[in-house]
Amino acid sequence: MSDLPSDNPTIRRAGPIGAPLPEDIAKHFPQLQIVGLLGQGGMGAVYEARQKSLDRPVAVKVLLPDPDRDASFAERFDREARSLARLQHPNIVTIHDSGQSGDLYYFIMEYVDGSNLRHVMNAGAVDPSKALAIVSQVCDALAFAHEEGIVHRDIKPENILLDKNGRVKIADFGIAKLMSRGKTDYTLTAPQQIMGTIHYMAPEQIESTTEVDHRADLYSLGVVLYELLTGELPIGRFPLPSQRAPVDSSLDEIVLHALEKEPARRYQRASDVKTDIEAAALRQTPGAAPRAVVAPGSVASTYYPVAGVKSAAIAYLLWCLCFIGVSGIHRFYAGRWITGIIWFLTGGLFFIGQLVDLLLIPGMIRQANLEAALLAHGTSVSQSPGPDQHSPA
């Protein structure tokens, strides 16, 4: 935490969105060159800046002044900021510094040169393969944060950034907890937000913002996944993803599992979501219709009808060969030893060969499916992030 000197200047608002003007913000940060306003959300405004001493771009998150802020906020801010500073991960926006200047609380963060997921989605439909790759990286970030004991509480497209190289960066970890004063304050849609946060919140989070754990983030992630695949929000009796988009129906099971109302029935770890997402990515062929319903995490996928015919034929042959073996034994005991032995050995050898073949069929099917899925996945074309350079508030 750093405490910057400030003459506590008057904060003027930049237009109807109410964010402070960049020139007023600059008075609080003499060590920074404030470039301009990037955006604003319900919990603060974000400015692009340049750190003069290191000559590097940074983003400044300013929590807007609030007359209702209680006396313990400064202590809570300091405690939360120290926790968030521990989140050093490739898929999480890094916090360089934090503190208070006048009546402004701020975070100086890593600047992500790219766009947030909302802007990417507004630019056009996201390819399913790209959508799964994005969600997989979000899972990595959440798994790391949850292991550190930090819950995001506000996973939504506005807080998922994509840099120019396609890498995902999650912003605003823990900010929702810091700003929340009660159920009413947090669940209502804030002015100027593109989409109400309430649509991404787990049921238990709406009922009590103070008694949620990491599984609330996994519910929100399920909403984001559904929206990426269908372009819609899962509200009311919503259709399955495979009914709205050309995606493998195994994604239906993943979405439904993530959106379970009861936390105990939901995914328990972000790493489990990633495992199922990666398995679904192998089965996903862009533009192809779903071929099979598969339980999450399963490796086997498509069932080829020819395998069933072959299995039935082998079963019939086994029955015939058993008859041959019995016939050989009968000849042996009837005194026709040579022909009996030949019949018995021939039937037995064929019986063993066909039995081995029958046992190997499932493995052969799985191998063929996996090779086909890998080939399809390797040749899929993903879209590049849009040119929009804004970061979320």
| Blockwise average pLDDT, block size 10, the chain, 393 residues | 40 53 91 92 86 95 78 82 90 94 90 94 93 97 94 93 94 74 38 55 82 92 97 94 92 97 96 96 61 35 42 58 61 66 69 65 53 42 36 44
pTM over 0.75: no
Determine the pLDDT at residue 390: 42
The pLDDT value recorded for residue 368 is 52
Q: Which tokens in the block code for residue 27? A: 């008075």
92 DSSP 8-state letter: B
Task: Tell me phi and psi for residue 58, to 5 degrees.
Answer: -140, 165
> Going edge to edge, which strands form the sheet with 2-3?
2-3, 95-101, 104-110, 56-63, 44-51, 32-41
Q: Please, are residues 63 and 102 in contact by the beta-carbon 8 Å criterion?
A: no
Catalytic residues: 154
Q: How far is CA 128 from the centre of its chain?
A: 13
